[in-house]
Amino acid sequence: MPKAHIADTQPKPVELKAGETVWWCTCGRSKNQPLCDGSHQGSEFTPLKFTAEKDDRYFFCQCKQTATAPLCDGSHKQITQEQLDEQAGLQTVWYKVAEPGDMRDGEVRAVQAGDQSIALTCLGGEIGALDNACPHQGGPLGEGSIECNEGTSDCWLRCPWHGWDFHPLTGLSPGEHDDGVATYPVELRDDGVYVAVQESTVHRATVSDLMAQTMVNWGITHVFGMVGHSNLGLADALRLREDKGDLSYIGIRHEGAAAFAASGYAKLTGRPAACLSIAGPGATNLLTGLWDAKVDRAPVLALTGQVNTQVLGPGAFQEIDLASAFAPVASFSQTVLRDSRHVELMNLACKHAIVERDVAHLIFPDEVQTLAAGEGDTAGGPEGRLGDRQMLPSTDSLAAALQRLKDAKRPVIIVGYGALGRMEYVLELAEKLKAPVLTTFKAKGQIADDHPLAAGVLGRSGTPVASWCMNESDLLLVFGASFSNHTGITAKKPTIQVDFDAMTLGKFHPVELPVLGEIGLTAEWLWRALPEDTGAVDQQAELAERWQIWRDEKAARRTRDRGKGINSASLFETLSTLAPAAAVIAVDVGNNTYSFGRYFECRGQRILMSGYLGSIGFAFPAAMGAWAATQAQPDYRARTVISVSGDGGFGQYMAEFTTAVHYGMNLTHVLLNNSELGKISKEQRAGHWPVWQTKLRNPDFAAYAKSCGGLGIRVESLDDLADALKRALAYEGPALVDVMADVELI
């Protein structure tokens, strides 16, 4: 028979009438002591029936040790502190905190005894051990000083923050104050000073524990963030999940990088990642990366600390209105309160991120993070909460699209980022229509450039091949693209637009036929419904001719040399040759972006970029997120990760190179170094502005990478470029190739 829980060490008087019957709790778990509330269910305990013989006050046992159950027999007087500690899962552990004779008289220092921070003191040859946190506002007493009143024996340990005083040995306050500091047993042994603390042998689940497990159950297994004073309880819950192998945590140097890494992870995999910050500035640092995720429809969960609820409102240190700050960027943003349905909040946050492909946000006040979970509370998950989101368009829409395709002689297919993962039947359809496949820049790589129907990228970062095909077409069939100005999709051609997001259809201008439906299913239906011979012109020969024209032009550009660095055409031709076909490439914003779009020919690589937000600094943190995905997701395991940026973009998050070294990230960064914000100076000249404040003062980036513990290679000659890239790609760890680039030959 298991031991009953000691509910209390005092009996409980209960007034009863003659003949009145009650049921006494035997398990000790009832919240309605001393009476049963059903908490024994599922155990070996059963409640005890008691009927009062007369009107009287009856003293019911609460220690559950009585021999005269259910009434008290005084057994509670025999209960020891050791029994209570054992029940609470506590054990006394002695820790050595100082060497013999190491403490000088009048000295105080902060030491660690297990998880407990201790202010160790010495006064008159005696050693004291006090809780290191001042009860006023948590000031570190171990950083204070012992001050004695002249001419008296009164000596006080003074808190360094606000001057509160405590006796160095007893922890008592002066005068009549009753807010002293807890003390710990001390032993002076031959080998040093020892302090005893009580440690729990059983972890008591917190609301953060349940919420972290719920997050994992929804498939969120990677968190990028920074641990700090207002998220420690939540961070510990994440630590426990990592210890169990359910989750991977990557500690970054700047919260902006955490959000970009989470966004990169989500863009690559389609699965949500999380980012963690403290309250105030840590939380606001997340916003740029979260906006990047939002506008590119990448699912991300943001977890932010917050100050204690008791000081919310007046403007406490690092307090800002996080709910308001995150409202524009997060489709779901809620504060976790003491009486919240904690697990349900995490369920809703995860569902919003996944279903809406958006940012969800939870705010964790400091004290709420460590609240004990209720007995019987369990983690949540997606079971019964997600339906089948595969949806065919309406019959009329399908029939109209089919007829227009049958009538078209020179159709082209344009795919955007929304068609990611749905390309199988898009390509089948293209082959039946003999139609070129063009991509937006965000969708670069979704069809390999060596495919017979590939026409390259449209828009500002595109090729003349794609624009020629679009201009010669008589019908555009567009899958998963938004028609923003950067896409380059003309509004002057008859257009069928297919998308699973109703708001995207006709977003920038009306289209002839907007079709609401899942892209893969719609493409498959059209492919199956079309006859084998649609009557469309076979455009493959023309397409091959246009590619040859463009490749000849690229070859001519590779010969350009002003003696001021390597031209972009040569750089990306070399990278096209050497980058593995399965590589993941994160591309930054700037001239490097346009050059990559024009010159790099994909052979199956996945391309990540800051699309609609167009944020400089994206590439390297996103590459860290991609690397994390290669460690966890079977579809991306062991893939090579490459990032490309200019010197301006890398400079924003270059400290994260140390993060990459710390976690052994196998990634290669290709840096186009022209000591200039080249895109901006180009725009200044184009707008007839003076070129102003675009020059950059750069360190030796290769030497910097080496000093961080990675590989750094500086390339000043085209002759050295291929070998440098080969070395970097073969290196097991973070590598940086610092390429001296010509700012004008882009």
Q: How far apart are CA 364 and CA 637, in angstroms?
A: 33
Q: What is the dihedral of CA 675, 678, 682, 685, to 10 degrees?
A: -20
Q: What is the pLDDT of residue 522?
A: 96
Q: What b/e readout covers 707-728, taking b as 16+ CB neighbours within 10 angstroms?
A: ebebbbbbbeebeebeebbeeb
Q: How far apart (Å, rounded) are the C-alpha atoms in residues 275 and 264?
A: 12
Two tokens, residue 206: 């917190």
Q: Which residues contact 337 (CB under 8 A, 6 or more apart)?
A: 309, 365, 368
DSSP readout, 157-195? EEPTTT--EE-TTT-PPSTT------B--EEEETTEEEE
- What is the structure's pLDDT at 388? 79
Q: Is 64 helix (H, G, I), strand (E, B) or coil?
A: coil
Closest Cα partner for 25 from 42, 54, 50? 50
- For residue 58, give the 3-state DSSP assignment: strand
Tally of CA atoms within 13 A in the half-sphere of 629 that contains its CB: 30
**Considering all CA atoms of the chain, what is the largest pairwise distance in Å, rounded to the nearest integer?**
109
SS (H, E, C) 10-45: CCEEEEECCCCEEEECCCCCCCCCCECCCCCCCCCC
Give the Å distances, CA to CA, from 376 to 205, 218, 346, 379.
11, 20, 18, 10
What does the alpha-carbon distance between residue 738 and residue 647 come to, in Å, rounded to a whole number? 9
| Tokens coding 228 | 């700090």
| Distances 28 to 162, 251, 376, 419 between C-alpha atoms, Å | 44, 43, 15, 59
Q: Spell out, as residue ranges, where the chain has pLDDT lower than 50.
A: none
CA distance 327 to 647: 33
Tell me the DSSP string of 200-232: ESSPPPBHHHHHHHHHHHTT--EEEE---TTSH
Q: If you search the block for the tokens 């070998």, which residue do you land on?
A: 723
Distances 614 to 360, 638, 746 between C-alpha atoms, Å: 21, 28, 19
- Which residues make beta-bridge pairs with 680? none
pLDDT for residue 397 = 96
The candidate with the shortest Cα–Cα distance to 741, out of 676, 649, 653, 692, is: 676
| Structural tokens at position 745 | 């030959």
CA distance 608 to 588: 9
Contacts of 336 (CB under 8 A, 6+ apart): 207, 211, 342, 345, 362, 363, 364, 365, 368
CA distance 648 to 642: 18
Report the alpha-carbon distance of residue 419 to residue 477 in Å, rounded. Answer: 12
Token pair 């977003």: residue = 507
Tokens of 243: 């210890």
Please count the residues of the chain: 746
Give strand pairing partners of 146: 157
CB contact at 8 A, 457 and 393: no
Q: Which two tokens stand for residue 467?
A: 């624009």
Q: Give the predicted TM-score (pTM) of the model.
A: 0.84
Give whole-number Cα distances, 530 to 396, 401, 514, 554, in Å: 16, 11, 19, 38
CB 186 within 8 A of CB 194: yes
Pairing assessment for the beta strands 192-200 and 90-98 based on DSSP bridges: antiparallel
Euclidean distance between CA atoms 42 and 22, whole angstroms = 21
**Smallest Cα–Cα separation from 45: which of 33, 53, 36, 58?**
36
Q: How far apart are CA 259 and CA 284, in angstroms?
A: 11
Three-state SS at 289: helix
